[in-house]
């Protein structure tokens, strides 16, 4: 496998820096600050220290004995990112980038958020490092994720509802970019997923790769060998790339990304970008997108607010095109079933996003031999989704 | 067939007359294609020198609220690239004013860079400005643009270092577009106080005409910028005027009035500037 991205931020034909000129110098500045930080032992030590003491790493790699026995196939391990501080893998990236913001002397940190997990993880770091914080969030998401809005405000962040377009994650990202165009001199824009212009997809991947590095070490300790299959949910794709990246050169390891099929990929109500989309340019990079025949971006649907974006990280587009990773999709109903199954069999309530990965694992495990090993990234915990899930099951809470 | 340097010729004429160019930006299809067609002719009659036609896009991440709403209206009216090119092609029977497509890269990429450049040149488009396509990524559009005689207009920003401005200028043609504010499109009460100094700095790195846009909304601001730059771009102010006059049906008169007043003020400012300079020499 070649090393990506190249110096211009390209993953094959994907990636790049498709932004307004005002932001170009800021992207060069960020890239150079990041490269220096990466080589600086003090930066690496602080990242490791805070990851351990504040985030709670390493997270366990947990063997699901009950689920494995019930399905009668491959051994299923969960990488427990739901046990990270703030309840999801998002914090791995916000910690790393917040340390960069401090290093670059930026007094203000901004973020876009969909479900609110990245917003909470950013607001957390802004509180810790005493920075001003503003989070952009589609007004529809503000409504349906009111608990996370409250958490962000409690952490001292300003939450700005975005009324444009479909009033969800892509519009929050548009508004965060617009804000950055005006405030670039004092503001660090903390992108939450492996999308956006170079160097963000690379930076987010590198900070999330702690997931795969730990999992690799842990599975060798538990099993004395490499896993056969990795499964993670994909939209922007940060938890998936975090798990996959340290295994990319281990070509015997299958990597499967699971997208949101919503109400079904034959209709318009889904967010299965790689599975059904076409190549285009949005939010600073070239990648697979859900768009119409004129290149206008389509609205998406998923029961998981964190999978409700019409693009995907450029590295995933590249992994798909070179055939190193496979991508499939799971419907809202299948994800809900998986959430229930994991809760009942293992005593773990997954986030709706992570439930997509669990749903595919449940389909795949029985087809594999008992000696085979599967690692599923449990990227977040389900507490935030209880109202949505209750509503889907017809329960009033 | 298109142009062969309609933009270049226009700036040469204006320079000879001692005028700065006025470039109105109107979103194609705002509020419908017939209005856009009649606006192009009206604005030329009122003193516009070039026209920027906004190509609607669902996610205009460098635009403020006024242009966002205008682009949404254009999208609703079906202003696709194909519809825009067909309108320009028809307009070419009536006007030779240079016309620039102004938009985001995805609709162009989706149409196909090669095919778009060939079709645009055939329709009578003179240049393309793509907000989210910096020179680093512009290769796939620039090659066919050049082959078809289309200018690629690049943006320069207040944050662009001088070395980078120099490099961008070297690969540009037509003119350079200086974004006068660190921010998205939209009216501003005051122009950047450092604009004059910045223009002088840019002059030292290029002979191409320099246009200034983003935030210019009044004849007074247009006049002030005309004394420092080769062209003045006005966009959001027009989008707001169109919005305010859709119901009453007098969009043409309203926008024509603003453009006429701007051009008048710009000519007066250049004239006064020359008179003052001449006075200085005498004294």
A49 is catalytic: no
Sheet order of strands, A373-378 included: A61-63, A75-80, A373-378, A229-233, A254-262, A326-331
Q: What mean pLDDT do residues B197-224 have?
A: 95
Q: What mean pLDDT do residues B184-212 have?
A: 92
A160 and A247 co-located in one domain: no
Residue A7 covered by a domain = no
A21 and A65 co-located in one domain: no
Whether residue B2 is predicted with pLDDT greater than 50 in this model: the reply is: no
A380 and A265 co-located in one domain: yes
Band (pLDDT 50/70/90 cuts) for residue A262 is very high
CATH number at residue A217: 3.40.50.1100
A326 and A359 co-located in one domain: yes
Q: Which residues does B contribute to its contact with A (CB < 8 Å)?
A: 56-65, 68, 75, 80-81, 104-111, 131-134, 136-137, 154-161, 164, 168, 179, 181-184
In this complex, which of B58, B59, B136 lies closest to A8 when CB atoms are compared?
Answer: B136
Q: What 3 state SS string does A225-292 have?
A: CCCCEEEEECCCCHHHHHHHHHHCCCCCCEEEEEEEEECCCCCCCCECHHHHCEEEEECEEEEEECEC
* Chain B CB contacts of A173 below 8 Å: 61
A242 and A118 co-located in one domain: no
Mutate to test the interface with A, among B80, B110, B161, B169 (most CBs of A within 10 A): B110
CA–CA gap between residue A376 and residue A360 (Å, rounded) = 9
Query: Which one is catalytic: A64, A84, A133, A233?
Result: A64
Q: ipTM value of the model?
A: 0.95
The whole-number pLDDT of residue A232 equals 99
* Chain B CB contacts of A22 below 8 Å: 62, 155, 157-160, 179, 182-183
CA–CA gap between residue B38 and residue A203 (Å, rounded) = 49
Which residue on chain B is closest to A14 by alpha carbon? Answer: B137
pLDDT tens digits for range A312-340: 999 999 999 999 999 999 999 999 999 99
pLDDT tens digits for range A73-118: 999 999 999 999 999 999 999 999 999 999 999 999 999 999 899 9
The whole-number pLDDT of residue B119 equals 98
A272 and A229 co-located in one domain: yes
Instruction: Supply the range of the domain harboring residue B249.
Output: 6-186+194-282
Using the Cβ of A22 and the Cβ atoms of chain B, whether some distance falls under 8 Å is answered with: yes
Residue B271 covered by a domain = yes
A167 and A253 co-located in one domain: no
The whole-number pLDDT of residue B283 equals 35
CATH number at residue B171: 3.20.20.70
Instruction: Supply the range of the domain harboring residue A47.
Output: 12-51+90-204
**How far is B109 from chain A, CA to nearest CA, in Å?**
7
Cβ <8 Å between A25 and B160 = yes
What is the number of domains present in chain A? 2
pLDDT tens digits for range B64-83: 999 999 999 999 999 999 99
Cβ <8 Å between A291 and B80 = no
The whole-number pLDDT of residue B281 equals 44
The helix/strand/coil state of B52 is strand
Cβ <8 Å between A22 and B80 = no
pLDDT tens digits for range A143-194: 888 899 999 999 999 999 999 888 889 999 999 999 999 999 999 999 999 9
* Chain B CB contacts of A15 below 8 Å: none
The whole-number pLDDT of residue B282 equals 41
The whole-number pLDDT of residue B212 equals 97
Residue A166 covered by a domain = yes
Residue B1 covered by a domain = no
Cα dihedral across residues B84, B85, B88, B90: positive or negative: negative
The whole-number pLDDT of residue B42 equals 98
Q: Is B83 exposed, middle or buried (0-12, 13-18, 19+ CB in 10 A)?
A: middle
Cβ <8 Å between B59 and A165 = yes
The whole-number pLDDT of residue B279 equals 52
């Amino acid at each position: 496998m070649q090393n990506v991205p190249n110096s211009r931020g390209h993953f094959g034909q994907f990636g790049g820096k498709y932004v307004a000129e005002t932001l170009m110098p800021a992207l060069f500045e960020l890239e150079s600050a990041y490269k220096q930080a990466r080589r600086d032992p003090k930066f690496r030590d602080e990242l490791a220290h805070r990851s351990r003491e504040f985030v709670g790493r390493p997270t366990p790699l947990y063997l699901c004995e009950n689920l494995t026995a019930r399905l009668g196939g491959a051994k299923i391990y969960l990488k427990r990112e739901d046990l990270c501080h703030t309840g999801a893998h998002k914090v791995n990236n916000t910690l790393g980038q917040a340390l960069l913001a401090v290093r670059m002397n930026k007094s203000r940190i901004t973020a876009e958020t969909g479900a609110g997990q990245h917003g909470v993880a950013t607001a957390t770091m802004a509180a810790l490092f005493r920075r001003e914080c503003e989070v952009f969030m589609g007004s529809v998401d503000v409504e349906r994720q009111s608990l996370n809005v409250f958490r962000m405000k409690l952490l001292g962040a300003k939450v700005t509802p975005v009324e444009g377009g479909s009033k969800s994650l892509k519009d929050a990202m548009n508004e965060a970019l617009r804000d950055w165009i005006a405030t670039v001199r004092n503001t660090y824009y903390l992108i939450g997923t492996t999308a956006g212009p170079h160097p963000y997809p690379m930076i987010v991947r590198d900070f999330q790769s702690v997931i795969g590095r730990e999992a690799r070490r842990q599975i060798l300790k538990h099993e004395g060998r490499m896993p056969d299959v990795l499964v993670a949910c994909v939209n922007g794709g940060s938890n998936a790339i975090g798990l996959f990246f340290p295994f990319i050169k281990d070509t015997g390891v299958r990597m499967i990304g699971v997208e949101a099929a919503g109400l079904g990929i034959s209709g318009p109500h889904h967010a299965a970008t790689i599975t059904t989309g076409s190549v285009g340019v949005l939010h600073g990079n070239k990648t697979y997108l859900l768009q119409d025949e004129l290149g206008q971006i389509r609205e998406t649907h998923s029961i998981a607010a964190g999978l409700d974006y019409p693009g995907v990280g450029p590295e995933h587009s590249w992994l798909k095109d070179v055939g190193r990773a496979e991508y499939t999709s799971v419907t809202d109903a299948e994800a809900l079933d998986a959430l229930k199954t994991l809760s009942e069999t293992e005593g773990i309530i997954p986030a709706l996003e992570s439930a997509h990965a669990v749903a595919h694992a449940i389909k795949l495990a029985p087809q594999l031999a008992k000696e085979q090993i599967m690692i599923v990234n449990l990227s977040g915990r389900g507490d935030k989704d209880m109202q949505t899930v209750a509503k889907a099951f017809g329960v009033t809470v | 067939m298109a142009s062969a340097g309609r933009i270049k010729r226009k700036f040469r004429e204006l320079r000879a007359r001692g005028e700065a160019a006025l470039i109105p930006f109107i979103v194609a299809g705002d509020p419908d294609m017939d209005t856009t067609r009649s606006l192009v002719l009206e604005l030329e009659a009122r003193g516009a020198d070039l026209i920027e036609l906004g190509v609607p896009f669902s996610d205009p991440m460098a635009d403020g609220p006024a242009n966002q709403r205008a682009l949404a209206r254009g999208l609703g009216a079906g202003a696709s690239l194909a519809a825009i090119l067909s309108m320009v092609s028809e307009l070419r029977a009536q006007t030779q004013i240079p016309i620039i497509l102004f938009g985001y890269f995805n609709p162009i990429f989706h149409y196909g860079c090669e095919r778009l450049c060939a079709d645009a040149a055939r329709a009578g488009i003179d240049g393309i400005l793509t907000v989210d396509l910096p020179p680093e990524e512009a290769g796939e559009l620039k090659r066919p643009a050049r082959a078809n005689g289309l200018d690629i207009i690049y943006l320069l920003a207040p944050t662009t270092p001088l070395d980078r401005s120099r490099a961008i200028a070297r690969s540009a043609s037509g003119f350079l577009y200086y974004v006068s504010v660190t921010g998205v499109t939209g009216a501003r009460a005051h122009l950047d106080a450092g604009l004059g100094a910045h223009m002088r700095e840019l002059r030292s790195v290029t002979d191409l005409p320099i246009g200034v846009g983003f935030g210019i909304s009044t004849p007074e601001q247009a006049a002030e910028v005309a004394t420092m730059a080769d062209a003045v771009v006005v966009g959001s102010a027009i989008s707001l005027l169109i919005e305010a006059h859709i119901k009453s049906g007098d969009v043409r008169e309203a926008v024509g009035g603003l453009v006429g007043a701007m051009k008048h003020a710009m000519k007066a400012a250049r004239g006064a500037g020359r008179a003052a300079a001449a006075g200085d020499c005498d004294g």
